[in-house]
Structure 1
Amino acid sequence: MLIRIDEEITFRKLEILLAFMETGNLARAAERLDISTVSVHRALHSLEAGVRCALFRHEGRNLHPTDAARELAEVAREVLRTMADGIRSTRELAGYSADSIRIGSLFSLTSRTVPAIVMGMKVRKPELHLELVLGSNADLLQRLRDGTVDAALIGKPEGAADVESELLFEDDIFFAAPTGSRYADLPEVDLSTCADEHFVSLGEGFVTYTGFQESFRIAGFTPNVVMETGDIFSLMNLVSGGIGYTLLPGRVRSVMPQRVQLIPLQERYLMRQKIGVSFLRTRERDPNLLALLAVCRKARAELA
């Protein structure tokens, strides 16, 4: 059965009732709530209309609560407490201003970007528990929309009207080859001369995969991909082992195996990745995400 409450009865009016009952005076209740005495009087009068019974006795200009008013105040206190707890648990379930934050990240950002941001968050909000979730660009974007991560360090998504992104840095793509390969001494690589080579690649959904495909589209041929992998560190090891060549972002330079060399691409093949922190627009006022944004902006100069 649908329970219907008279529209004259609102949470705000119940708050005013409690303030009046606790102060015992219209003026003091108005001062506590930072409203006018007239507003207090009007709210109490409308509550009487809503419950359809007298709540106060008038003695001159003074109001004296009846037993009915005291009963309603007791119920109001419990209702407001329950609603406040319900709103808090609802916000926490949605990840809004909870005591933890789930940050998604590309594998390639775990060597430098992620540590800088985690340390910044620990300084700014030491009480906040951080959880790291790794995945591809497409996977993390979907997790963001599903609510299983609160923010994601990914390639800036194009055409995502529901997502807000803050740029951290831009990164160029390089030709990756084993040291000592026939490309080792070249100042830059012309991809159009590599049609007979074997290549290794990340799977679809990774931001580096997108640049990989676009570069070879410009080169005018489909690369012979002999193996795909699901993380960039395995990809670098495949190059190191001589399985094939690939394209890699410059940010992995510091964690590459010793036997892998990055060589610039000719300018026409150059793809630049825009890496940033992304979150849903509906959560742009979340205090935890605002703290994360502040940390990312501070770290931007170090990461550029």
Structure 2
Amino acid sequence: MHLHVDEEITFRRLEILLVFMETGNLARAAEKLEISTVSVHRALHALETGVRCALFRHEGRNLRPTEAAQALAEVGREVLRTMVDGVRSTREVAGYSADRIRIGSLYSLTHRTIPALVMGIKLRKPDIQTELILGSNADLLQKLRDGALDAAVMAIPKEASDVESQALFEDDILFAAPVGSRYAAQNEVDLSACAGERFVTLKEGFVTYSGFLDAFEVAGFTPNVVMKTGDIFSLMNLVSGGVGYTLLPGRVRGVMPQRVQLIPLQPKFLMRQTIALNFLRTRERDPNLLALLAVCRTAGAELA
């Protein structure tokens, strides 16, 4: 069944009708709506055109609503209330200005960065509930685009014109070895001299894995990867157990096993990650995200 309402009947004009019915006067309605009396009069006349019947009668210079106007006002009030509820529900389904915020994060950021951001958003918006979802850069980016996340704290994605990013800090990639290894006494590791070593790494999709490949491309050889894992904490334990060497971001220092040592790479092998808050450009006016952005701008200097 096709439903049609005359184009002269709009939400704004129904709102003007309700205010006029409440105030009973063109001038008072105009003052409350912050528009001119002429605009109020035109809106009421347009509604009469749309419903094709008289809604008001003239008594001198005043307009008096008819029973038809009362009926339209009653329906209009219900229509506006339903639409306001519908817009609110729609925004909540989309995660826009809801009472919760879904933040995605890399595993390596749960030690220091994520707690700082969660505490910051709690201080700014005490009633908001925070949901944390962990994954790789690739996983988080896809969830962001699917609407399963409101924001993702991860490396800035490449060639993602639909994503807006607020940088938090930069992180160097370092050589990770068991304590007491033959690299322990070195101030800098020459990665090109490690061709005969065994390595462990994260799976594809993690930004640290991308940095791992980039560094070995500069070194001029393909590393002998004996095992891959899906989280950075398991990766550090593999290094601790002597399964192989790897490359790790400096931010994991605070959660490393005692038997793992981080050693800088020679400058030519240096890889750097920019960690940022990422969100879809279409969501840039979301009040919850604006609050989170403000937290990031404050926390960024402390996290660097």
**CA apart distance, 1:4:** 1.2
**CA apart distance, 1:187:** 1.1
Q: Is 1:176 aligned to 2:192, yes or no?
A: no
Which residue of structure 1 aligns with residue 250 of structure 2? 250
Q: Spell out the pairing of 1:86-97 with structure 2 (5 A cutoff).
A: 86-97=86-97
**CA apart distance, 1:120:** 0.9
Segments of 5+ residues of structure 2 without an aligned counterpart are none
Deviations 1:231-264 (A, max 9, x none): 0000000000000000000000111000000011
Structure 2 counterpart of 1:198, one-letter code: R
Deviations 1:129-163 (A, max 9, x none): 00100000110011100111100000011111000
Q: Distance in 2 between matches of 1:122 and 1:285?
A: 19
Q: Distance in 2 between matches of 1:32 and 1:70?
A: 20
Which residue of structure 2 aligns with residue 115 of structure 1? 115
Q: Spell out the pairing of 1:93-104 with structure 2 (5 A cutoff).
A: 93-104=93-104
Structure 1 counterpart of 2:11, one-letter code: F
Q: Secondary structure at the match of 2:58?
A: strand
Q: Spell out the pairing of 1:1-304 with structure 2 (5 A cutoff).
A: 1-304=1-304
Deviations 1:84-139 (A, max 9, x none): 00000000110000000000000000001011111111111111100100000110
Q: Distance in 2 between matches of 1:91 and 1:205?
A: 31
Count of residue correspondences: 304
TM-score (ref. length: structure 2) = 0.99
Structure 1 counterpart of 2:161, one-letter code: A
Deviations 1:18-57 (A, max 9, x none): 1111111111111110111111111111111110001111
Structure 2 counterpart of 1:199, one-letter code: F
Q: Secondary structure at the match of 1:181?
A: coil
Deviations 1:241-290 (A, max 9, x none): 00000000000011100000001111111100000000000000000000
Structure 2 counterpart of 1:159, one-letter code: E
Q: Distance in 1 between matches of 2:74 and 2:251?
A: 62
Q: Distance in 2 between matches of 1:13 and 1:35?
A: 12
Structure 1 counterpart of 2:187, one-letter code: P
Q: Distance in 1 between matches of 2:41 and 2:302?
A: 59
**CA apart distance, 1:164:** 0.2
**CA apart distance, 1:179:** 0.5
Q: Distance in 2 between matches of 1:11 and 1:258?
A: 65
Q: Secondary structure at the match of 2:218?
A: helix
Q: Tell me how large the CA RMSD over aligned residues is.
A: 0.6
Q: Secondary structure at the match of 2:185?
A: coil
Q: Distance in 2 between matches of 1:264 and 1:114?
A: 25
Q: Secondary structure at the match of 1:159?
A: coil
Q: Distance in 1 between matches of 2:55 and 2:123?
A: 53
Q: Distance in 1 between matches of 2:232 and 2:127?
A: 32
Q: Distance in 1 between matches of 2:187 and 2:30?
A: 77
Mean CA deviation greater in 205-214 or 21-30: 21-30
Structure 2 counterpart of 1:42, one-letter code: R
Segments of 5+ residues of structure 1 without an aligned counterpart are none
TM-score (ref. length: structure 1) = 0.99
Q: Secondary structure at the match of 1:18?
A: helix
